[in-house]
Homo-oligomer: A and B are copies of this chain.
């Protein structure tokens, strides 16, 4: 299954194309993104909102370019959506007809509520949070979505945007005036959206998160799922609002964000203070992923089934090397071990799922190269296990795979990721489970030829197959934090 769906997101500033490849019913990944700064609204403000010829021409050319890309990738389905950029233009139908006739693309204009819903669906399904409120600060409006258990419960859209604020307040740098205006608008927001975990969608808040990530020397470069404490960053965030352009450039804000970043952060700050936010979680996904998910999840209640992680599904779809039976056997072995060790080693049961993921992904690095395949597995997981999982958890899975053939995880690696990892003893025990699983998988047999027992603070592994026993005993190295005894259980073995 290699169906490719194109999503076109026609925004006020840019027009974007994203190509999603489906690898199974719920497995997918992005295989292409293009972006063109069309600025469709250029000149419209001074002409009663009427779209002008030049920007329309740019838009048509951009969409023609996208069309060429879609042809090359043999796109099967096109979902093209326009937001506030076209919503209020008096001549929007003329433009939409031109697009249809000249490019052959049906652009559909959606309202703010729908926009909020799409961002909400994306975050609810592709982040790891059971509950939260998404906020997407755009040029002309700000969207909110409240979700719980992967389902969007309610949405709201406010006429509050960076471009609007800039137009109204930038000439006199009237920040206090802007604050009043924002508060006035926010007073329309129903109380149910006030929730202490805020999920930040969109370019402004991503740019802010990037700066905060850099400031804190965060050890992973991924932005999707990045969390920070609002109270800790409060002063820094406030300082951005009052920074000069050159100060903003110095801390890493890109040139093309300079004109609106301060207004965006101002809106964000007002919301954060009003909501009494604890934590901000950055969402790398938004309306585009929402459009795609809205389509593929149409017959499953707009959400993934419980326990389905779309990244894991997609990685296995693409990179699984060996027999599915062997993978299942690995998972069973790891589960058995976890369940036997858990009560004795006080392992939190939340780690069981990570043990599932790790045992499923044990061998995927081979797809990059057999040589150093554990390192390659780490690389793949860090780059691909991104949806529906926290940074902490995906890092832990990556490390368990990387050191699955070693008797210990290298100290410098533990040191490097210290702030994201559980206590050393927990890591050691989880590592032991994966290490033993891999060891007992040496013969790749899809069935158990061994039994476990935990007796007198020692894990006994009875092995019933002579060839497997010979393999295991040759490779085995004692572990630091778990005593293990390998016992041959067959004739001639004593």
Contact = CB atoms under 8 A, between A and B. Distances in A.
Interface of A: 29-34, 36-37, 58, 61-62, 64-65, 68-69, 71-74, 221, 318, 321-323, 325-326, 366-372, 376, 379-380, 383-384, 442-446, 466-468, 470-471, 474
A370 B32 contact: yes
A379 B370 contact: no
A470 B383 contact: no
Contacts of A325: 72
Nearest to A472: B65
A74 B369 contact: no
Contacts of A37: 474
Nearest to A32: B370
Contact of A368 (B30, B68, B71, B379): B379
Nearest to A449: B68
B444 A73 contact: yes
Nearest to A19: B370
Contact of A467 (B31, B64, B321): B64
B471 A74 contact: no
A158 to B, nearest CB: 31
B370 A30 contact: yes
A466 B73 contact: no
A283 to B, nearest CB: 14
A37 B34 CA distance: 54
A470 B36 contact: yes
B32 A366 contact: yes
Find the residue from A221, A367, A383 having the highest chain B CB count within 10 A. A383
12 contacts: A31-B370, A61-B467, A61-B470, A62-B470, A62-B471, A65-B442, A65-B470, A72-B323, A72-B326, A72-B444, A73-B444, A369-B383
Contacts of A72: 322-323, 325-326, 444-446
Given A326-B72, A470-B62, A384 B369 contact: yes
A372 B371 CA distance: 23
Given A383-B376, A444-B69, A467-B68, A370 B33 contact: yes
A254 to B, nearest CB: 14
Contact of A445 (B68, B371, B471): B68
A466 B62 CA distance: 9
B323 A74 contact: yes
Interface centre among A30, A65, A466 (most CB of B within 10 A): A65
Contacts of A380: 368
B36 A443 contact: no
Contact of A323 (B62, B73, B370, B446): B73
A397 B269 CA distance: 47
A372 B284 CA distance: 14
Contact of A31 (B221, B366, B445): B366
A242 to B, nearest CB: 32
| Most chain B CB within a 10 A radius of its CB, from A33, A369, A446 | A369
Contacts of A68: 443-445, 467-468
Contacts of A442: 34, 65
Given A68-B443, A371-B383, 19 more contacts: A29-B369, A32-B366, A33-B370, A34-B471, A36-B471, A58-B470, A61-B470, A65-B442, A65-B468, A65-B471, A68-B468, A72-B322, A72-B326, A72-B445, A73-B322, A318-B367, A368-B383, A369-B384, A379-B379
A71 B367 CA distance: 19
Contacts of A471: 34, 36, 62, 65
Contacts of A467: 61-62, 64-65, 68
A380 B325 CA distance: 28
B69 A443 contact: yes
A326 B71 CA distance: 11
A326 to B, nearest CB: 5
Interface centre among A380, A442, A445, A470 (most CB of B within 10 A): A470
A43 B99 CA distance: 83
A74 B323 CA distance: 8
Nearest to A444: B72
A323 B34 CA distance: 17
Contacts of A444: 68-69, 71-73
Contacts of A366: 31-32
A468 B72 CA distance: 14
10 A-B pairs closest in CB distance: A72-B444, A65-B467, A64-B467, A68-B443, A369-B383, A61-B470, A69-B444, A61-B467, A30-B370, A68-B445
A380 B383 CA distance: 13
A65 B443 contact: yes
